[in-house]
Amino acid sequence: MESAVLNSLSQKDNQRLKLLKSEIEEARDLAIGYPVSKDFDISEISDFLQIPINNVGDPFEDATYKVQTHELEREVVAFFAKLFRAQPNDYWGYVTNGGSESNLYGLYLARELYPKAMVYYSESTHYSVKKNIHLLNIPSIVIRSQENGEIDYEDFENTLRLNRHKPAIVLSTFGTTMKEAKDDISKIKGILGHLAIQDHYIHCDAALSGTFGAFMEPRIPFDFKDGADSISISGHKFIGSPIPTGVIVTKRSNRDRISKGISYIGSLDTTITGSRNGHSPLILWYVLKKQGIEGLKKRYQHSLEVAKYCEKRLNEIGIKAWRNPNAITVVLPKTPDQIKDKWQLATEGDISHVICMPNVTKDQIDDFILDLATCEEKREEEFEFEF
């Protein structure tokens, strides 16, 4: 059987792609404001991109469609289940499209277990959570954050007390979007116990910091042994991947209560999306095999060292920068627009931040500091009324 012959791209289209690649590479090299690792190399497995890999169905069950990477997906989930101290005989998960889908799954599972529950999340929680709660149509209450971005435990307890007759779904964050603050799950668990709320579910959004949380000293409670019922991370953030991706790990016993068999695919319908990207598990498996636990530790130590350097250099030029303990995110006052745009700094309200991902170097920080020190902020234009 002969395959259809595709026409070659025109010279104009080829030139357009060349220009686009150049622009994206330039933007990549200046991006220090978002949590995306750029130091990966998947050239050894690039041939797999020519195959239509579809991880449809539950990765822990057999399926009719065999052009998949379920075996590698299971190993990726197992890696994080062990890292997050899950019970070896009671864990389950899958590779998602990113942190937002992972959070959606955690909340979906919690809602199915406790249909009449109230969701509690802090004002520093990722924007996807509010959207997911709306999609799932669950009642919710926003809890205040402390100055450092961590959930206000006193406000949480007082709010919980008013609704103690309802099951509680708590969305904790291990590494908030702007300040990389970490909610302490043992404190959350303690408050639930103190108020005798037995029907509860804790989902931990650990998109950025979960991958290196186990290496922090002193340790901050966030995993299954600490009281989490599900944990989500992003694969393209600290680990590195050309495709946005995430992982959700939960208790298999909870997943079993919502699974449905689908004859069309010969598997269980346990995931949010039907067809799922089979290349992402392959990429995560490949990178994790090359890095291992020791590699992740080294990446974290490098990021931590650069973050300390960035904070110190900013303070040296008179900018009041700070970090949460063990954070690789440096918070600083909102920068001028030309700095924000060039270095792609995430900005919210009166603060910006630099995230020292494993690919960020001290030389890059020096260049950023030089730009900031020599920048002349443009004056805002004033209205001129003519009569």
Q: Identify the CATH number of the domain in which residue 297 sits.
A: 3.90.1150.10
Q: How far apart are the first and last CA of the chain?
A: 78
Give the DSSP letter of residue 29.
H
Q: Residue 171 phi/psi, 5° resolution?
A: -100, 100
pLDDT at 379: 46
Both 361 and 223 in one domain: the answer is no
Both 95 and 123 in one domain: the answer is yes
pLDDT at 377: 66
Q: Are 119 and 106 in contact (CB under 8 A)?
A: no
Tell me the C-alpha to C-alpha distance, in Å, between residue 338 and each of 25, 174, 273, 331, 349: 19, 31, 40, 18, 17
Give the DSSP letter of residue 269.
E
Closest CA to 177 of 221, 118, 126: 126
Both 215 and 322 in one domain: the answer is no
The number of angstroms, rounded, from the C-alpha of 338 to the middle of its chain's C-alpha atoms is 27
Strands 246-250 and 230-234: antiparallel
Q: Are 240 and 287 in contact (CB under 8 A)?
A: yes
| Span 111-131, pLDDT tens digits | 999 999 999 999 999 888 899
Q: Are 107 and 133 in contact (CB under 8 A)?
A: yes
**Domain end among 289, 313, 347:** 289
| Span 3-21, pLDDT tens digits | 566 688 999 999 999 999 9
Both 197 and 306 in one domain: the answer is no
Both 143 and 111 in one domain: the answer is yes
With respect to residue 18, please indicate whether it lies within any of the assigned structural domains: no
pLDDT at 3: 58
**How many domains, the chain?**
2
Both 233 and 368 in one domain: the answer is no
pLDDT at 255: 85
pLDDT at 306: 98
Both 256 and 200 in one domain: the answer is yes
pLDDT at 270: 85
Tell me the C-alpha to C-alpha distance, in Å, between residue 177 and each of 3, 163, 189, 249: 47, 28, 23, 21
Both 298 and 150 in one domain: the answer is no
Low-confidence ranges of the chain (pLDDT < 50): 1, 261-266, 379
User: Would you state the torsion angle of the CA atoms of residues 215, 219, 224, 228, taken in this order, to the nearest 10 degrees?
Assistant: -120
Give the DSSP letter of residue 247.
E
Closest CA to 305 of 331, 287, 323: 323
Q: Are 77 and 94 in contact (CB under 8 A)?
A: yes
Go through the chain and tell me how many residues it has: 387
Tokens 């960035």 appear where? 310
- Sign, Cα dihedral of 268, 274, 277, 278: positive
Closest CA to 34 of 324, 372, 353, 267: 353
SS3 17: helix
Q: How many CB atoms lie within 10 A of CB 165?
A: 8
Sequential DSSP letters for 139-196? -EEEEPB-TTS-B-HHHHHHHHHHTTTS-EEEEEEBS-TTT--B--HHHHHHHHHHTT
Q: Residue 173 phi/psi, 5° resolution?
A: -125, 130
Both 247 and 128 in one domain: the answer is yes
- CATH code of the domain in which 185 resides: 3.40.640.10
The domain of 333 spans 25-41+293-372
Both 34 and 180 in one domain: the answer is no
User: Which tokens hold the place of 158?
Assistant: 């007082």
